[in-house]
Structure 1
Amino acid sequence: MRRGRAGRPEKPISRDLKSNAQLAVFLRRRRAAGGWTYEELAELADDGVSRQTLQRAAAGGMNVPSWPVVANFIRATSPLRENDIELERATKKGKELWRKARYEQRQRTMPRRPEPPVLALVRSEADLAAVLVELYERSGAPSMRTMERRAGGLGILPHSTAHRIVTRKTLPYTLAQFEAFLNACDVPMQRRYPWYSMWARVNGVSVSALYDELAKLWADTPAKSSMTKAA
C-alpha cells in the first residue's frame, strides 16, 4: 500500500487531561514517523475502526479512547517498519500510557477514595479491599466480562464476583481466586511476590504454607512452578 501525504495540520492536543495528552502525543508521533494519513490507518485497522475514531484517539481531552482503539492505532502504524519485538514494546508503552489516562479520567469523575496503604503495611481485610480496588483502577478499570476472561475462563473469577470485589462487597478468600484477580488485572509474574506476601499476612498464612499452596496452584504451569522453586 502506498502511503499518501500526512494531510492538513492537526488541531493542537487538548491538555485537559494530562495523561491523555501524553497518550495523544505518543500516537501522533507514531503516525508522523511513517507519514500515514488517518484514512490509510483506518484501512489498516481491525474491527472496522473509523478515521474519525482514530483522530479522536490522538486528540487528547477528557475522553480517553478504549484500549482496542489504541491497540489498533499502534498496529496500524507498524506495517513494514517494526518487527514483532518492537511492536510488542510499542504496545506495552501504549498500554502504560492508556492506563494512566484511564486512571486519571476516573479519578476526575468518581468520588474520592481514601489513599490505600502500601502493600507492606496492609494488615487488615479493609486494607486488602482498598489495595485491590486501587489495583483494579490502575489496571485501566476493565469490564467485569474482561476480568472474567483474563482470570482464565468461566467459573474461576465470575464477573459477578469480580464486581463485588471491586465494589468492596467481598474479598478473594482463597489463594486461587486471589491469583485469578491478579491475572484479571494483568499483574506481571515478576511483581507478584509482594502481593502474595500481603495476602498471606492478612489471612494468617505462614510463608512455608504460602509456597506450598502456590506450588499446588501452579502444578500444571511449568514456568510458574520453576519460579516457586527459585523462591
Structure 2
Amino acid sequence: MGRPEKPIPDPVSPLGRLAVALRNGRREAGFSYAVLSERTRTVSPGTLQRAASGAVLPRLEVARAFARACGLDVAEVTRLWHAAYQRSLGGRAAGRTREPEPRPDLVENLRGLCAALEELRQANGAPSFRMMERRARAAGKELSRSTAFRISRGTAPASTDCLEAFLVACQVPPRGRAVWFDAWLRAQRQAVRARQDAVGREELKQFEAVVADTSRGQVSQETAVRMLRKAGFDAMERYRRFDAPWTVECLQCGARFRIRLSDVVLMRATCPDCPKLTEHVREAWAELLTNPSGLLSRQLVRALRAATVLPARLQRDHLDVPVFVADRTTLRALQSGAWHPALEDALRRHIRRPFYLDVLLVHDYDTMPAVRTGQRHRRLAKAAGLVDSPLESSPAMGQLVTETRGTATEGSARTAPGLPGRWKPTSNSGA
C-alpha cells in the first residue's frame, strides 16, 4: 500500500475544489499516478500528483489530460480550472468573475494586440512555449519557441501567418480567428500612421528651421504674425508653436477659425467662410431680381437683370459688392442708388454678420466698338476671372472705371476682388 496523500490545504477554495475533483476521479477509476501517466502518454506521474495536491494550479492541458484519463467530465474540470485561475489573478471574491477570453475587437495598437495575445495564452492554460511549438507544428504551422516567447513579451507578430500559428498554439478554432486578423490589421494601420506622423513632425521641424529667425531654429512671435498677415489673416491670440493650432481672423470676411502656421507657410491654409460669402451674395442678388418688396420699378429690375454681380469681399465690417455693367443705358439706370436699400435688405437676410455696404459699378466703353458691346464686356469680365465660369481668352481690355454708390466714405479708393493690376477701379461715391 502506498503512502496516503497529503490533505488538500483549502478544499473549499476554487483551487481546492479542482484538486478534490481530480482526486475523486482517480480513486473512482482505481488508477495509480503511474497508470494515469501511461494513459495520458505525455504527463509524468509527479506532474499529475502535483495537479491533485491543491497547492499549485496546474496547466489547463494537464488538468484536461487528468480528467480524460480518469473518465471525468472534461468541461466541468475546465470550468473548475478557470475559477481557480481567476482566483489566482488577484484574490477575487467568490462569485465575482470576468471573461476568461480577451477582447480582440477592442485592440487599437500593437501593444494592445500583444497584451490580448498573452491573455489568450493565459486563458488557454498558459502552455509552455515548447508545447505551443509542438501544437503549431502538428497543425502544419511554423512557430518557434523564441517567436512565441517574444509575442508573449510584447513583440507583435510580423505577419498573419505568424499570428495564425500563435492562435493555433492557443487552440483557437478557425471560426474565432477572423476577429484576431482584423485586430492585427487595425494595429498595423495605426503603427503606419504613427510612423508617418513622426516623419511629418521631423520634416516640419526641419522646415521651421529654414524659415526661422532665431538661433534656436524657431519662428518668433513677430515673424509669425507677419507671415500670418501676409497670408490674409490676423492673430487673435499669441503664437505658441509652428505646428500648434492658432486662432486667427480672416482679413477678407472677418471669420474666426484655427489654423497652423506650418499650413500658412506651405500655403495650405484657406478661409472656410470666404466661398460662402460669394454664395450668399449671389443668393441675395437672385432674391433682389424677384423684387419681393415691389418697391423697385420695372426699369430698375430690367437694369439689374442686365448687370452681373461679381465676387464680393467682406473686409472687417465693409462689404464690397462689385457689379459689372455692360452698357451705358444700364449704367444710367443703376447710378441712382435707389435700389441699394433693397439689396442691403436681401443681403442681411443671407449674411448673419454686421456689415457696411459698398456697391461698386464696374464698366468700360471707350475701348470697345458699339456692336455687341454687352456680350463682349461680359466675356472679357469672365475671362479676367471676375466670374467663375471659364471662357475663351480675349485681348487685354482697357481700364475699368468703378463707380461706388452706397454708404462708403466719399473719395475712398477701393479695388474690387479678382481685378488684375492693370484695372484700376476708382470710387466717386460722393458724386
> The TM-score by the shorter chain falls in which range?
0.5 to 0.7
For 1:42, give the aligned amino acid.
Answer: A
Which protein has the larger Cα radius of gyration, Structure 1 or Structure 2?
2
Query: Any idea what SS the aligned residue of 2:54 has?
Result: coil
The answer on 1:58 being equivalent to 2:52 is yes
Query: Any idea what SS the aligned residue of 1:187 has?
Result: coil
The answer on 1:188 being equivalent to 2:173 is yes
Deviation at 1:8, TM superposition (A): 11
Q: Cα deviation per residue 1:69-121 (whole Å; 9 max; x = unaligned)? A: 5355324423xxxxxxxx7xx3354345446645754x46xxxxxxx983222
Report what 1:94 is aligned to.
Answer: 77
Deviation at 1:196, TM superposition (A): 2.2
Change (3 A) 1:56 1:165: closer
Change (3 A) 1:8 1:150: closer
Selected match of 2:131 from 146, 161, 173: 146
* CA RMSD, Structure 1 to Structure 2 (Å): 3.9
Report what 2:21 is aligned to.
Answer: 26
Change (3 A) 1:123 1:67: closer
Deviation at 1:165, TM superposition (A): 0.9
Number of residue equivalences: 176
Report what 1:74 is aligned to.
Answer: 67
Report what 2:150 is aligned to.
Answer: 164
Rounded to whole Å, the distance in 2 between the matches of 1:10 and 1:38 is: 14
For 1:128, give the aligned amino acid.
Answer: L
For 1:191, give the aligned amino acid.
Answer: G
Report what 2:35 is aligned to.
Answer: 43
Rounded to whole Å, the distance in 2 between the matches of 1:158 and 1:8 is: 41
Rounded to whole Å, the distance in 2 between the matches of 1:49 and 1:184 is: 21
Rounded to whole Å, the distance in 1 between the matches of 2:18 and 2:86 is: 13
Report what 1:214 is aligned to.
Answer: none
For 1:187, give the aligned amino acid.
Answer: V
Deviation at 1:44, TM superposition (A): 4.8
For 1:141, give the aligned amino acid.
Answer: A
Rounded to whole Å, the distance in 1 between the matches of 2:63 and 2:57 is: 10
| Counterpart contact for 1:23–1:101, Cα < 8 Å | yes
Deviation at 1:201, TM superposition (A): 2.0
The answer on 1:135 being equivalent to 2:135 is no
Selected match of 1:126 from 95, 102, 111: 111
Change (3 A) 1:17 1:123: farther
| Counterpart contact for 2:124–2:171, Cα < 8 Å | yes
Query: Any idea what SS the aligned residue of 1:149 has?
Result: helix
| Counterpart contact for 1:100–1:138, Cα < 8 Å | no
For 2:57, give the aligned amino acid.
Answer: V
TM-score (norm 2): 0.34
Q: Cα deviation per residue 1:140-189 (whole Å; 9 max; x = unaligned)? A: 22221111121226981111111111111x21121111101101111122
TM-score (norm 1): 0.59
Deviation at 1:16, TM superposition (A): 8.4
| Counterpart contact for 2:111–2:156, Cα < 8 Å | no
Report what 1:198 is aligned to.
Answer: 183
Q: Cα deviation per residue 1:19-60 (whole Å; 9 max; x = unaligned)? A: 42232133134235xx34453x5335415844x764543231
Deviation at 1:194, TM superposition (A): 2.2
Rounded to whole Å, the distance in 2 between the matches of 1:120 and 1:66 is: 27
Query: Any idea what SS the aligned residue of 1:203 has?
Result: helix
| Counterpart contact for 1:17–1:101, Cα < 8 Å | no
| Runs of 5+ consecutive residues of structure 1 not aligned to the other structure | 1-6, 79-86, 109-115, 206-231
For 1:57, give the aligned amino acid.
Answer: A
Rounded to whole Å, the distance in 1 between the matches of 2:31 and 2:168 is: 34
Rounded to whole Å, the distance in 1 between the matches of 2:176 and 2:114 is: 19
Deviation at 1:193, TM superposition (A): 2.8
Report what 2:211 is aligned to.
Answer: none
For 1:20, give the aligned amino acid.
Answer: L
| Counterpart contact for 1:45–1:75, Cα < 8 Å | no
Change (3 A) 1:166 1:182: same
Higher percent of residues as strand: 2
